[in-house]
Amino acid sequence: MTTTEAYLATWLEARTRFTNLLNNLKEEALTKKLIGTQNSAGFLIRHIADVELLFAKNVFGAKNIQVHAKTIIAQHDTGEWTQLEPILNYQHLAFDQLKFIIEQQPDYVWQELITTKEFGTKTKAAALGRIISHTAYHAGQLGLILKYAS
């Protein structure tokens, strides 16, 4: 197994904490929020996808990606993520784009430094850790919303 294949396998396995939540998702769940919180299930799914697209473009060099990261621009839930099919399609697009660009990384790039305004300077390997933890963090929030929100 190459270094790139190992990192890809790690990301894919970690991401199942998120994708498993989507398997039986119903449209009415997208507007659910926990009491005292501001982010809905739909917002969190969209946000994860926005950040994955930004990582594909800005960290891993997928320059052909056009991303309008609405959740990051708004910095709060605007209530617009209420339709299941479009949000799942967007999430699949983000997954496919990030997976594709990770697969294209030669083994030698994982120790290269990358600088972004969001998290400063890190190796590409550490940046992958950042996207893994970001998705897991929000998947935990999503799981709580889907389980406990009315």
Average pLDDT, the chain: 96
Query: Residue 59: which of 9, 118, 138 has the closest Cα?
Result: 118
In Å, how far are 18, 45, 64, 130 from 137, measured between CA atoms?
A: 9, 12, 28, 10
The domains found in the chain, sorted by start residue, are: 3-148 (1.20.120.450)
pTM of the entire predicted model: 0.95
> What pLDDT score does 116 carry?
87
Summarised one tens digit per residue, pLDDT across range 73-125 is 999 999 999 999 999 999 999 999 999 999 999 999 999 999 988 889 999 99
> What pLDDT score does 140 carry?
97
pLDDT-based confidence at residue 150 (cuts at 50, 70, 90): confident
